[in-house]
Structure 1
Amino acid sequence: MIGVTPPAYDPAAPESATTLPVGGPATVRAYVRDLLRRHRTAFTVLVAVNAVAVTASMVGPYLLGELVEDLSAGSRELHLGRTLSLFAVALAVQTLFVRMVRLRGAVLGEQMLADLREDFLVRSVALPPGVLERAGTGDLLSRITTDVDRLAEAMREAVPQLAIGFVWAGLLLGALTVTAPPLALCVLIALPLLIAGCLWYFRRAPGAYRSEAAGYAAVAAALAETVDAGRTIEAHRLGRRRVALSDRRVTEWTAWERYTLWLRSVLFPVINGTHALLLASVLLLGGWFVLRGWLSVGELTTGALLAQMLVDPLGLILRWYDELQIAQVSLARLVGIREIEPEPADERVRPEGRDVRAADVRFGYLAGADVLHDVCLDVRPGTRVALVGPSGAGKSTLGRLLAGIYAPRTGTVTLGGAELARMPAERVRRHVALVNQEHHVFVGSLRDNLLLARTDADDGDLWSALAAVDADGWARALEKGLETEVGSGGLALTPAQAQQIALARLVLADPHTLILDEATSLLDPRAARHLERSLAKVLEGRTVVAIAHRLHTAHDADVIVVTENGRVSEQGSHDELVAAGGAYAALWRSWHR
């Protein structure tokens, strides 16, 4: 067959655009087996109902074959009334069971799709936080949206239809073999063409569809990053460069789209040719068999009709198997997170106190490129520590290590003598919380948004938490109170109100240690001052490590830790460090100019 050259591989895209793994064949097969095992009863019922429908559909060819046989034998009693009655009953049974097949198939598909979505969500939220932070926005977005959408049709249609097609084809081949064994050989004549075409196609299709999906992820990543960083792009006049990048990503993606379309344009004529060859061989060889006396005219009639009926299940199998190739790529991307090994956790590791210590910590996002170098830090319970330093000094990275988001490459970060990296994530979150400028309001009621932090909280606890952050005023003014729908499609909350909900969750969760990464830096000054007063109430009595991008945040801290080039260069109070005349004093002077 004449081929075309697939799009040139570019190491920057699209295949390397993902940061989360794509599941290997073994992972995909294991998940599919598990999914079918969960729904084996529904799957068995679907096959049984389909078998009845197919059997009823074969009554017509047999009745017509008997009628032709009687006519060829010169019989004058054709029993047309009985034949028509049997045909009507068979047609009614077929109609009823075909409807049941469609209903059962749709229900089975929706159940499997629901399981897939739930499995992906459960597995995603169980991933180590560091893995999710490193994942690209476009890759995550394309998996949650595009890949799930592609799988939706496969789960609703492809899996049930493939089961129907295989049962249908198997029963028809069995009936053809029993009715007219010589005609079954005609299937072997058309089979080589079909096998050759399918082998050619399916050797190329999986890789092409993977590249197509990765190309779309690269497009989504480029567009999402451009939108998110729109102001920065304008400030640095990077618009043309970002447009050029998006154009290149779209060009690569559409090249793979054209390639997969070309593959299908070769496969479909092969399928049509197989159908024509099968029917022609049945009629030509069957006629010769009749002339030789190896078949009767009635058997040829029945066999020809059964062979013609094979066209539909074969087309069904190949059509949906092709769709399944596309779905398989999306499924591999969704179940790929199963190949991420969870960070080792020991249920026996429990903190024996509230002191936080970092000892000889080294950490880097990429192999061989450490961001932090031999960092040592001792945070005593109830103290307020401010991390300051120039941009890129490693402040936020150190904060995430202290919060247990990342594990150090070497060295240890402990809470009460227990290593955070060895402690279960849920236990870490009960003791330590990271609060940054990012806040999210989930779709649902105000009550549901608050109960995320503590599911057993009653209304009194929820109102107390809102009051602690000065949010009870506007919350009580809502017509439905805690039952008010917020988030997308509901009440639009201001950034300050959304952050107050986040702080109220913090009050409900009640961790004794907080890592603050400028939780109010994205708000306007008036809202920021109001929230800082609310935050002060939340911080009372807790251990606080504040990553200070504004030096007024550090002024009142008990201890100020200065980081430079990934190392701790100074520690002490504000007055001590100003008097020392070092890096902090220089920052303080430049900030006051």
Structure 2
Amino acid sequence: MTAPQRRGPVPGGPPAARMMMAGGPPEKLQDFKGSTKRLLALLKPQRLFVAGALTFGALGVFLSVLGPYLLGHATDVIFGGVIGRMPGYPPGATKDQVIEYLRANGQTTQADLLSGVDFTPGQGIDFDRLARVLGWVALIYVFAWVFGVLQGRLTTRAVQSAVYDLRQQVEEKLGRLPLSYFDQQPRGEVLSRATNDTDNIAQTLQQTFAQLVTALLMIVGVLGMMFWISPLLALIALVTVPLSIWLTTVIGKRSQPQFVAQWKVTGQLNGHIEEMFTGHTLVKVFGRQGEAAATFQEHNEKLYASSFRAQFVSGLIQPAMMFIGNVNYVLVAVVGGLRVASGSLSLGEVQAFIQYSRQFSQPLTQVASMANLVQSGVASAERVFALLDAAEQSPDPAPAKLDGVRGRIAFEDVSFRYLPDKPLIDNLNLTVEPGQTVAIVGPTGAGKTTLVNLLMRFYDVTGGRITLDGVDIATMPREQLREQIGMVLQDTWLFGGSIADNIGYGADSPDTAAVHAAAEAAHVDGFVRMLPDGYDTTIDEEGSNVSAGQKQLVTIARAFLAEPSILILDEATSSVDTRTEVLIQRAMATLRTGRTSFVIAHRLSTIRDADVILVMENGSIVEQGTHDSLLAAGGAYARLYSAQFAQAVAEVD
């Protein structure tokens, strides 16, 4: 069975479609907090991996926080050894005696300094103690590295699994969306949401989730050690935090709309590229390369501008945070030096505190610099969630009981409209008996293809009902309905694969003999056997290595193989030459035997043998009958036939 084809937006185009093609109004994040929560909820099924990543991250942070404190002890051992080996100490004097001696001689500053140093007069560096301390430091950092590797692996597993599930949701959602959704959306925009935006979500979660949690844990751990060493220096270090938060908030609010604009324009650019690539032949034929390039340039410039603003504005966070961190570093170094001079802190403790102040400002800067990634990811997430939240086609009911489909189709008071205020079909009644061939003719926009779309349930009727063998098709699962119908369209569709694969698409696991039989019936076998690889000839996705008529024949062979109960032919022979058309008409006559058939045709000479010809105008059936009876009536059909015949004569003359 051939895949359904999109014939483009409805006449006039829905307002949403026109707005999107024109660029639409400027967008902004509708619910940053809600979208962020929903984004994080994607990780819920991976809670075990997330818990493991957080556990290893916490252990790694704990060890990383402990390292500078032990290094401070190593510094104190070295400094104490240097002080202990200084000349001038009385033989056998203790530390306390040396300090009392200095105070007695008016050297109060030196005495205060040495009071905070652990040394023994006359003894140098205790290398055994120093080795033990450095050994513990090395062991701690090795384990911190191991925990970091484990955290990264579990984080990657959790994030990629979550995005895998998200892609599955998008794929399944696309299958549940009605045809009207795709009529109103540029194809490249949908592809951008399904690919670019999901990739950006993966990148955002990968780069921010683990790092953000680690940074927050690092802030808490470092802050605790800072207060443990010196509450005064810790309070000084915290003075700059409110300024950091204020700057991050201000810059973040300015960059957020730019990220939304960036991903919106990305979708528009992808839509334009996809459209121009698909129709590149027509672009060249009509000499529109300049206009296509100009449109591309316009979208590209918008993307450049929005991306530049988003990255530049959000990029201001990191240098601003570095400046604040440097100010904090100066304050801590100055006050810490004074505390060492007064003997309140040891040199190693100040060294450790300075390391902690750096570690404290680093995760703050890291969290702030992640703001651009988070905002970009949330903007993409909101676009994907909008796709996932789009209105779906009505759910399928339980399978109906059909005891051998005979193919009796009835339209009972059917009404339909694409737009609520623009009726297209009103109160249409039609009964097609099993095995009948019904031809549908009429001017463009009369509703011919719409009638078929309603029968296939690409759209649901807005009034009345359509029945198959007395069963309302709205009470049947769409798959159950469509497996009874074979469809050949004017717009052929072939996928990348061999000719045999494309023909075999019409049935489940067909054998080679069945494929060849369908090809012979549709007159495909002749030209296929002339190809170097025969049925194994690979067709590209656009089918550019076979002619338009040959593509049409392959789709007809696909319908032959499906052996449907109901056959729909929408200008199925429009791309073949006159001789091949005659052969296909004969093959179609065989294929239609015993099957209910709907034939949409503009060339009225191809439908003379139809059992019933329906003439449609403005969504209504204005005439119906056989070819001869309609000509004799001298109505709308006769006028169409005469106009077509007159045009043919004029072309010959």
* C-alpha distance in structure 1 between counterparts of 2:29 and 2:239, whole Å: 40
Indicate which of 61, 65, 77 corresponds to 1:54: 61
* C-alpha distance in structure 2 between counterparts of 1:532 and 1:158, whole Å: 63
- Secondary structure at the aligned position of 2:161 is classed as helix
How far 1:270 moved relative to its partner? 2.3
* C-alpha distance in structure 2 between counterparts of 1:290 and 1:444, whole Å: 77
Contact residue 560 and residue 574 of structure 1 kept, 8 A:
yes
- Secondary structure at the aligned position of 1:381 is classed as coil
* C-alpha distance in structure 2 between counterparts of 1:93 and 1:526, whole Å: 80
Deviations 1:284-322 (A, max 9, x none): 444455567664443322222122123443343333342
Amino acid at match of 1:568: I
Contact residue 23 and residue 337 of structure 1 kept, 8 A:
no
Contact residue 345 and residue 421 of structure 1 kept, 8 A:
no
Q: 1:464 to 1:201 in 2, by over 3 A?
A: farther
* C-alpha distance in structure 2 between counterparts of 1:547 and 1:235, whole Å: 29
- Secondary structure at the aligned position of 1:406 is classed as coil
Aligned match of 1:544: 597
* C-alpha distance in structure 2 between counterparts of 1:394 and 1:301, whole Å: 82
Amino acid at match of 1:14: G
How far 1:579 moved relative to its partner? 0.8
Q: Does 1:14 align with 2:28?
A: no
Indicate which of 269, 274, 292 corresponds to 1:219: 269
More deviation, 467-476/56-65: 467-476
* C-alpha distance in structure 1 between counterparts of 2:606 and 2:200, whole Å: 49
Q: 1:174 to 1:146 in 2, by over 3 A?
A: same
- 1:40-439 superposed matches below 5 A: 40-70=47-77, 71=80, 72-75=117-120, 76=124, 77-78=126-127, 79-225=129-275, 248-287=298-337, 290=340, 295-345=345-395, 347-348=397-398, 350=400, 354-439=407-492
Contact residue 28 and residue 332 of structure 1 kept, 8 A:
yes
Aligned match of 1:3: none
* C-alpha distance in structure 1 between counterparts of 2:500 and 2:136, whole Å: 63
Q: 1:343 to 1:578 in 2, by over 3 A?
A: same
How far 1:257 moved relative to its partner? 3.0
More deviation, 172-181/410-419: 172-181
Q: 1:147 to 1:424 in 2, by over 3 A?
A: same
How far 1:578 moved relative to its partner? 0.7
Identity %: 28
* C-alpha distance in structure 1 between counterparts of 2:512 and 2:237, whole Å: 71
How far 1:153 moved relative to its partner? 2.6
Q: 1:487 to 1:323 in 2, by over 3 A?
A: same
Amino acid at match of 1:319: S
- Secondary structure at the aligned position of 2:43 is classed as helix
Q: 1:54 to 1:249 in 2, by over 3 A?
A: same
Amino acid at match of 1:330: S
Deviations 1:384-437 (A, max 9, x none): 111111112222222211221111223323323333344322222222344313
* C-alpha distance in structure 1 between counterparts of 2:533 and 2:559, whole Å: 23
Mark the runs of 5 or more structure 2 residues left unpaired by the alignment: 1-18, 81-116, 647-653
* C-alpha distance in structure 2 between counterparts of 1:35 and 1:401, whole Å: 37
* C-alpha distance in structure 2 between counterparts of 1:483 and 1:196, whole Å: 66
Amino acid at match of 2:644: W
More deviation, 375-384/316-325: 316-325
Amino acid at match of 2:119: G
- Secondary structure at the aligned position of 2:240 is classed as helix
- Secondary structure at the aligned position of 1:519 is classed as coil
Deviations 1:169-191 (A, max 9, x none): 44434444444444443453222
How far 1:207 moved relative to its partner? 2.8
Deviations 1:85-109 (A, max 9, x none): 2233334334444444444444444
With structure 2 as the length reference, what TM-score do the two structures score? 0.77
- Secondary structure at the aligned position of 1:304 is classed as helix
Q: 1:255 to 1:421 in 2, by over 3 A?
A: farther
* C-alpha distance in structure 1 between counterparts of 2:287 and 2:424, whole Å: 29
Q: 1:86 to 1:239 in 2, by over 3 A?
A: closer
Deviations 1:413-464 (A, max 9, x none): 3323333344322222222344313343334566765665544555555555
* C-alpha distance in structure 2 between counterparts of 1:183 and 1:15, whole Å: 54
- 1:366-515 superposed matches below 5 A: 366-443=419-496, 453-455=506-508, 457=510, 461-462=514-515, 464-471=517-524, 487=540, 495-496=548-549, 498-515=551-568
Aligned match of 2:39: 32
Q: 1:106 to 1:436 in 2, by over 3 A?
A: same
Q: 1:445 to 1:592 in 2, by over 3 A?
A: closer
Q: CA RMSD in A?
A: 3.9
* C-alpha distance in structure 2 between counterparts of 1:473 and 1:26, whole Å: 63
Q: 1:240 to 1:459 in 2, by over 3 A?
A: closer
* Number of aligned positions between the proteins: 582
- Secondary structure at the aligned position of 2:400 is classed as coil
* C-alpha distance in structure 2 between counterparts of 1:505 and 1:478, whole Å: 19
Deviations 1:143-185 (A, max 9, x none): 2343244334334434344344444444434444444444443
Deviations 1:479-506 (A, max 9, x none): 9888876545999555455545544544
Amino acid at match of 1:218: Q
Q: Which has the larger radius of gyration?
A: 2
Deviations 1:525-547 (A, max 9, x none): 66666655555554332211122
Amino acid at match of 1:569: V
Q: 1:489 to 1:438 in 2, by over 3 A?
A: closer
Contact residue 108 and residue 156 of structure 1 kept, 8 A:
no
- Secondary structure at the aligned position of 1:39 is classed as helix
* C-alpha distance in structure 1 between counterparts of 2:542 and 2:416, whole Å: 41
Deviations 1:548-577 (A, max 9, x none): 122223222111111112222111111111
Q: 1:100 to 1:220 in 2, by over 3 A?
A: same
Q: 1:497 to 1:55 in 2, by over 3 A?
A: farther
Amino acid at match of 1:60: G
- Secondary structure at the aligned position of 2:428 is classed as strand
How far 1:581 moved relative to its partner? 0.7
